[in-house]
Amino acid sequence: MTADITGRAVAFLVAPEGIEQVELTEPWTAVEQAGGDPVLVSTQSGRVQGFHHLDKADTFPVDAVVGETGADSYDALVLPGGVANPDYLRTVGDAVRFTHAFFEQGKPVAAICHAPWLLVEADVVRGRTVTSFPSVRTDLVNAGAEWVDREVVTDRGLVTSRTPKDLAAFNAKLVEEIAEGEHRAQARSAERVSAGPAGGHSRK
């Protein structure tokens, strides 16, 4: 039975393009079906471009711009993958600060495939057990994480998975973590990060 997250606002942070579409649409649907309110956040207004591997797919309307909204407006964060998507986001200061703020506030975060690159940039994986697309493993280990090869891993409110093949497990676990709410251990872990960015801006 799916956990009930009625009324919970869930931010989906993506770049303007390079998103692996299924890693956006399937978790989005899972949040909606559980009663949640998914919100598409990007670095600029307009529409974002989804991809099926290297081929352009659909576009999706942006609900909020990352520099104009903050983690305090949401109950959880989902980070879809794709190679170009997180690779771009980790160069955007507002996106890094937005992500780090969820950890400071103890809120659930779910990242799949290449998306943990953004977690590395936000310096929030130190001392955590995670998984990812195999090519991201070295970056995570160098950032202080313990990497394991499992379809889904949960550590103090952080959910990670490897590839689209793991989406069923990923979706179930992210909804479960959102239903559980804030994790004090998540916030304590963020407090121990010595060089982490500051929290996000308030949403208007």
Residues labelled as active-site residues: 114
Burial of 54 (0-12, 13-18, 19+ CB in 10 A): exposed
Sign of CA dihedral 52, 158, 88, 201: positive
